[in-house]
Chains A and B, each alone.
Chain A
Amino acid sequence: MLWWTLRQLKSKDSMIRVRAAGKLGDSRNREAMGPLVATLQDEDWEVRATAAKALGVIGDTNVIGPLTALLIDQNSSVRRDTAKALDALHWHPEDDTQRALRAIALGEWSEVTKIGPSVVKLLVELLNDQHDDVRQGAVAALGEIGEGQVMELLISALDSQYNDVRSGAAEALGKVGDKRVVARLLSAVEDKSERVRAAAVEALRKIDPNWTQTGVGDAVIQGYLSKLNSNDSDERKVAVEVLVKIGHATIEPLVVQLQSSEKGKRERAADVLDLLGWQPASLRAIRAISRSKWVEVAKMGVSAVEPLIWAYTSDRSVRRAALEALGKIDDTHAVEPLVTALGHDSDDVRLTAAGVLAKLGWQPATTEQRAYYAVALKEYTQASSKGIAAVRPLLWVIRDSGYHYDDRDAAKAALCRIKDPLAVEPLLMALQELIADRSDDALAVVVTALGALGDAKAIGPLMAVLQNEDSMSSRMVRKEVAVALGTLGDTRIVKPLVARIKGSSVKSAWEAEPRQLVESAWEAEPGLRQLLEKAATNISLEDLEMLADLKDVSAERYYAIGCDIYSDATCDCSQIRQLARQELIRRGLKG
């Protein structure tokens, strides 16, 4: 059946060819030698290896020539089986090259290094071998040889596509111990492969135990320290490993970073500390906060209170969670910071703190707490009944454009409802601040609130505002100041406001435009009306007569007839005239 087996050597199926080669070897039939030698060129490495083994089994030394040629096969298994077959045929290498090829094929790397520099070329070729054990052996052997051009070859090997070659090269360079390679090894410290990085650091340590204290070494360390804060978790991991290896993985900066105001930084620091196996007892709360483990934090009890206060005051993104965690701590110590948070300058802190306190069933103990609590809960009317204590929190709402329009309006209404005479002082202070800030919207409300309080102390500052046009930027404010002074019954407003309605105070052509005259009159009319309603009896006869004769101001034709038709372009002064005439009649001066 030899013929059949020989025919199978040419099968299209490589497995059939492998089995056939094996059978021919086992047959020890020398007639098979020729076909088996031809099969040493088979495209399949397993067929080639089996054919080599078969020729070794047949035991005829005539095949030594073709077999030695196979020692440079690209496949290490073929080379190994070939070397074994040659050994079986009692073959003795004729020169260093053949000796080297045999040793390489059998993985006898120490034998290879004994041969010396003549094998360097062979070893370099093996650095790209498809088998990692061969590549590793080759690069290690190069390191062992360590002479001549080997240094340059190993440095080049640091750029190999294979991790094992790069790491082997780094190790080898470490063994060589030449300080000239330090710079190159420093770049290998940043290799993508952990194995290479470890080898590079180890090599650097071998070459110069104090390398980390050099300028370059320090730069490397600083680079890794900065990478501890990388957004890339792999990068952070590498940095930790390297720093641990070189003994620079100190936790202090990381602990500091745990208290960063940036949530991301804190989380990264917590990750790194985890990688370092950091298990502190004292800073457990900070670490848990950093990892947003709020349930865990709340369970820590009193020890978590301070860290939670720090968290809500430091980082906007965790404020709500931190305050809610405080609310879950079953200890009275947790309530105090929540009460303090009612006075925080951030609305979401105040609102969250109030919500948490409400859930806890907390009851404010002082008027100030009641006012702040009510404002935080958006119970503005409730707040206004707390008098002076409500001024500051209500002004927060009024001035904060982040609040909804409805909230701000409700807070405005509440501020104007404060009846506490003591509120005059903080309102006058607010008046000056708001004038400086040019916060017209809030300024108008404070002015109205001052008018509503009816305290004569406000007259001076308000009159100063009225007389100093530069201090106000909007008609709305001017109108409210006039109304407030009218409410306070200050008759000194009559002449300046009448002048405004009559247009006798205009300073430019623009102000003399009909539409501008109307708008200017709109500023003054409510103040005069208010004065006539509140304090008509105090107005002088001369002023009353002037008011009774005050003409409407209109930008439209035929205003005098059909005023309601064009009322949006008209300042109707009929209420002023009417009230003035009624007062004159009351005094018996007009019929």
Chain B
Amino acid sequence: MHTPAPTQLDQGCVSLNSVRLKNVFLHVTKACNLRCTYCYFSASQPLPDEMTTAEFTRLWPEMVALRPQKVVFTGGEPLLRADILELLGGLHAADPEHHVLRCLNTNGHLVTPKLARALVGLADEVRVSLDGLPARNDALRGAGNFDAAMRALECYYAVGFEPKVLVTITATSLPDLEELLCLLIEKKITRINLNGFRPIGRGARHGEWAANPVAVREAVRRAWARCYPDVPARPEPPEPEAQTNCGVGSFLNIMPDGDVFPCHVLTAREFRCGNVREQSLLEICRRSGLLGQLRALDFTTMAQQDGRVVELTRPGTCLGNVYAKTKSLPVWKGNLPLIPTST
């Protein structure tokens, strides 16, 4: 594994030559004790060559130098790694000034009171996935998951965490959304992320599961009105106009084997930015590299160059989905010259 020279990191400013990252999603394992029907990562068994504790330890100084807002330890199920506390502790030790928030995703099954206590001080944000009420949730995520997730949330709350619930919204679970939100708020779980369904991985078989965003907003509005009847509603945020970039290039997906991709969706080989075993993470994230090119993409300009990619400019559109449909168009090669010609 590549190790940068100490002086390179001592500068404390190496990230200046790198893309500015928001979140790094660190897939510490592909192993998972669940088989969620829509899992974008198709998580099940660990990869044969997942990164070792020592390899992660060497990665932390570079990660801190990049100063992402958050590093999200995810999987698979990250708690299946026996060294998960060591990994969190490693990043904690490498970041004494606490520039980076350490987040831990889990499906909840392996969270115990003891583990929750051990995570205090190591994790800044603990997150549990939960998509619906018991029947629909467990049909999507696996038997017993609803109860396990609720127990995990209680464990976390008991030791002082404000756990966050990650809700993947599909057309299948949408009917439960209002009730689920009300239930969580009633239990003082107010930090809730609503995530869109990604038709990749196992989700690729369920392309029709994408939920109607208007229906999602309505469900949220109804839940708000029920839970906070006395809080006056603030004006709706203005409808976003055309997007010039979906944020691609601000995120990083590091796979269990060290491969680096720009996001959850852009995981085709042509978007492989490098591998942290072979290169410095700082080098992978340099502004002049593929990530920097992606960050600099101007969707409006691309749509002017070729009307067939105009969908890019619609708010909320994922670049990966449009690319999958139009990757043979010259507009991509023209704007992303680092992508190999063979694609």
Contact = CB atoms under 8 A, between A and B. Distances in A.
A557 B234 contact: yes
B228 A406 contact: no
Nearest to A579: B160
B11 A410 contact: yes
B162 A564 contact: no
A410 B159 CA distance: 40
Contacts of A569: 237
Nearest to B156: A578
Contacts of A579: 160
Contact of B13 (A406, A556, A561): A406
Interface string A275-293: 0000000000000000000
Interface string B119-150: 01100110000000000000000000000000
Interface string B220-233: 11011001100001
Contact of A557 (B7, B162, B194, B237): B237
Contacts of B228: 560
B11 to A, nearest CB: 5
A117 interface: no
B112 interface: no
Interface stretch (B80-88, B184-192, B289-297): B184-192
Contacts of B185: 560-561
Interface residues of B, number: 37
Contact of A556 (B17, B181, B221, B237): B237
Contacts of A591: 158
A414 interface: yes
Contact of B7 (A381, A554, A555): A381
A561 B237 contact: no
B324 interface: no
B305 interface: no
A380 B11 contact: yes
B269 to A, nearest CB: 30
Nearest to A530: B98
B192 A561 contact: yes
B73 interface: no
A405 B190 CA distance: 40
A35 B185 CA distance: 135
Most buried by B among A413, A414, A554, A584: A413
Contacts of A413: 11-13
A581 B125 CA distance: 14
B16 interface: yes
Contacts of A582: 120-121, 159-161
A406 B14 CA distance: 9
B237 A381 contact: no
A557 B120 contact: no
Contact of A558 (B13, B98, B125, B220): B220
Interface string A558-575: 101111111001000011
Interface string B5-29: 0010011110011000000000000
Interface string A243-277: 00000000000000000000000000000000000
Contacts of A584: 160
Contact of B12 (A381, A557, A574, A590): A381
A380 to B, nearest CB: 7
B234 A577 contact: no
A414 B234 contact: no
Contacts of A556: 234, 237
A116 B193 CA distance: 120
Contacts of A409: 13, 16
B161 A578 contact: yes
Given A561-B223, A575-B124, A585-B159, A566 B11 contact: no
B243 to A, nearest CB: 14
Contacts of B340: none
Given A557-B233, A558-B221, A577 B162 contact: yes
A410 B13 contact: yes
Contacts of B227: 560
Contacts of B239: none
A412 B13 CA distance: 9
A579 B224 CA distance: 27
A387 interface: no
Contact of B224 (A380, A558, A564, A583): A558
A417 interface: yes
Contacts of A590: 160
B241 interface: no
B235 interface: yes
Given A409-B13, A575-B124, A561 B181 contact: yes
B49 interface: no
Nearest to A562: B194
B120 A414 contact: no
Interface string A419-457: 000000000000000000000000000000000100000
Interface in A46-86: none
A521 to B, nearest CB: 15
Contacts of A208: none
Contacts of B101: 575
Given A560-B228, A563-B192, A591-B158, A406 B237 contact: no
Contacts of A578: 124, 160-162
A496 interface: no
Interface string B197-225: 00000000000000000000000110110
A585 B160 contact: yes
B229 to A, nearest CB: 13
Nearest to A581: B160
Contacts of A564: 193
A348 interface: no
Contacts of A194: none
A514 interface: yes
Contact of A561 (B7, B120, B220): B220
6 contacts: A406-B13, A410-B16, A558-B221, A565-B194, A574-B162, A578-B124
Given A452-B97, A560-B227, 10 more contacts: A405-B16, A413-B13, A416-B12, A555-B234, A557-B235, A558-B224, A561-B220, A563-B193, A578-B162, A585-B159
Interface of A: 380-381, 405-406, 409-410, 412-414, 416-417, 452, 514, 533, 554-558, 560-566, 569, 574-575, 577-579, 581-585, 590-591
Can you list the 3 inter-chain pairs with the closest CB atoms, starting with the nearest? Answer: A582-B160, A413-B12, A410-B13
